[in-house]
Amino acid sequence: MRENLSSMIEIKNILMSDIVLIIAMSLTLSGGIFGASSEGGILSSFLYFLPIAALAVSLSFILHELMHKFVAQHYGAIAGFRSSMSGLLITLATGAFGFLLGIPGATVIFAHSFNKKQYGIVSLAGPLTNFVVFGVFLAMLTIINPPQSSYLFAVLYITLFISIILAFFNMLPVFPLDGSKVLAWDKRVYFGTMAAIFLLMLFFTPIPITTIIFMIIIAVFFSLFYKNLI
């Protein structure tokens, strides 16, 4: 397995996963292949959202995974991203139907002596990175204050929305998501982080309860099939 963590293979894995996620996210934002959200049809809608998805997904996903890697390496572990072919296929398929089950892969870590605190900090590093992305784009949205009908508003808002959604999903206390390891390390850190996420979503990116329930179902599904997907 360590051979799969070589630099070139890791770069190919994370770029392939990023491209698949971008396509799937563009399809999801378009309403899927059967429900395009624009009068021009699926192609017009897909092309409209593609640059937005490219920015939002790349920042939220790649930085999230790289931070896991760098923090794990800081503690002396061997770490690298590995994509899942079956997970990528599921990601594309669900995006085509207008909802996203994004399970492109994960950062795998090999460590001989990691304790709960180290695993917790490594796991928390990803969602905290999404907090930073969220904060930067919220600041840009506030300072620039573009019209809500403008493309710039869509770029900024969708990017911060995807970032906080990714933070929330990964902090769910379901193995192997980040939240399960943070909770095992320190309950105060876990609930403090989740409280901050809920407040940000409540005030800046209101999310229907049905969406939250759907994400929980996805997390449980991911947990059940994790060993077969990675």
Q: What are the DSSP calls for 101-146, one per residue?
A: ----EEEEEE-SS--HHHHHHHHHHHHHHHHHHHHHHHHHHHHH--
Annotated active-site residue 3? The verdict is: no
**CA-to-CA distance for 222 and 16, rounded, in angstroms?**
20
Q: 200 to each of 8, 123, 132, 164, 206, how far by Cα in Å?
A: 37, 20, 12, 8, 9
Q: 8 to each of 15, 20, 55, 64, how far by Cα in Å?
A: 11, 18, 23, 19
107 contacts 165 by C-beta, under 8 angstroms: no
190 contacts 183 by C-beta, under 8 angstroms: yes
Q: Which of 172, 171, 173, 160 is nearest to 206 (CA)?
A: 160
Residue type, 208: P
107 beta partners? 81
Q: Which of 3, 10, 39, 65 is catalytic?
A: 65
Residue identified by tokens 């379901």 is 174
**CA-to-CA distance for 45 and 29, rounded, in angstroms?**
8
Residues annotated as part of the active site: 65
